[in-house]
Amino acid sequence: MRDFDDIFAIAAERKGGVDALEAQLPSPLSAAEIAAIPEDRWLAQFTKSIFQAGFNWKVIENKWPGFEEAFDGFDVNRCAFLNDEEFDALLSNKAVVRNGMKLRTVIDNAIFIQELRDDGGIGKVVADWPATDFIGLLELLKKRAARMGGMSAPYSLRFMGVDSFILSQDVTARLIAEGVIDKPATSKTAMRAVQGAFNEWMEQSGRGLTQISRVLAMSV
């Protein structure tokens, strides 16, 4: 596995130099900013990521105002207690994508977010989670939230400003080229190897997961 500086140099050469590469590296939100994000925005982003999985993202974006209205701005308490009559109305609401299984996740994930209040709230839980165990946060969402396995969880966290890595095709290709994994990471063993590599690159570079992930993607 190469040092991060070597991979950064490869990406910089591909993207027109160090300054050009740096300009494309986003900065995540601070822990305080993440902790302050309201519950409804977490539920909204989870829902958007779930619906974007397997759908055209532009279609979901275009319909999103309809989702916000249909779910009362994703008020967590309101969504957690949707009754059968209200849910049936959603299934005939043309303002949303009428996929019953995915619509049901709004209720389930609202309940999940309510449960995290005992731990200080979802914002605090995510904000306090160490970047060196990002895979543990992904596992929490996979186990306790609805349909938040696969890419839905990492994309949700990235869009919420959380320091995160996304195992896109390009990032995976770089990890394979560096000998970290030998195929897309699906097992716990492979994910631990990925986390270990990111931890080492964080220590070498002083950068976070988001920037390292983007550099890996742009090095391919």
Would you place residue 99 in the very low, low, confident or very high pLDDT band (cuts 50, 70, 90)? very high
Give pLDDT, residue 176: 98
User: Residue 75: which pLDDT band, with cuts at 50, 70 and 90?
Assistant: very high
Average per-residue pLDDT for the chain? 97
Domain map of the chain by residue range?
A: 4-28+165-218, 32-141
DSSP-assigned letters across all residues of the chain: ---HHHHHHHHHHHHTSHHHHHTT---PPPHHHHHTS-HHHHHHHHHHHHHHTTS-HHHHHHHHHHHHHHTGGG-HHHHHT--HHHHHHHHT-TTS---HHHHHHHHHHHHHHHHGGGGT-HHHHHHHS-GGGHHHHHHHHHHHSSS--TTHHHHHHHHTT-------HHHHHHHHHTTS-SS---SHHHHHHHHHHHHHHHHHH---HHHHHHHHHHT-
Q: What is the Cα 76 distance to its own chain's centre?
A: 19
pLDDT of residue 52: 96
How confident is residue 29, by pLDDT bands cut at 50, 70 and 90?
very high
> What's the angle, vertex CA 36, arms to CA 64 and CA 196, rounded to 5?
90
User: What count of Cα atoms within 13 Å lies in the side-chain half-sphere of residue 82?
Assistant: 25
Instruction: Provide the whole-model pTM.
Output: 0.96
CATH number corresponding to 32-141: 1.10.340.30
Q: Which amino acid is at 64?
A: W
Confidence of residue 55 (pLDDT cuts 50, 70, 90): confident
pLDDT band at 49 (very low <50, low <70, confident <90, very high): very high
Mean pLDDT of 47-56: 94
- Write down the residue that tokens 């008020």 correspond to: 75
Mean pLDDT throughout 139-147? 98
User: What average pLDDT does range 40-67 have in this prediction?
Assistant: 96
What's the number of CA atoms in the CB half-sphere (13 Å) around residue 97? 24
Q: Are 96 and 70 in contact (CB under 8 A)?
A: yes
Residue 54 has pLDDT above 90, yes or no: no
Residue 131 and residue 202 in contact, taking contact as beta carbons nearer than 8 Å: yes
Does residue 177 have a pLDDT over 90?
Answer: yes
The C-alpha angle with vertex 113 and arms to 195 and 142, in degrees rounded to 5, equals 35
Q: Which two tokens stand for residue 205?
A: 């570079």
For residue 161, CA distances in Å to 3, 36, 79, 182 come to: 26, 12, 24, 29
pLDDT band at 204 (very low <50, low <70, confident <90, very high): very high
Mean pLDDT of 93-103: 96
| Per-residue model confidence (pLDDT) at position 171 | 98
Mean of the pLDDT values across residues 101-116?
98
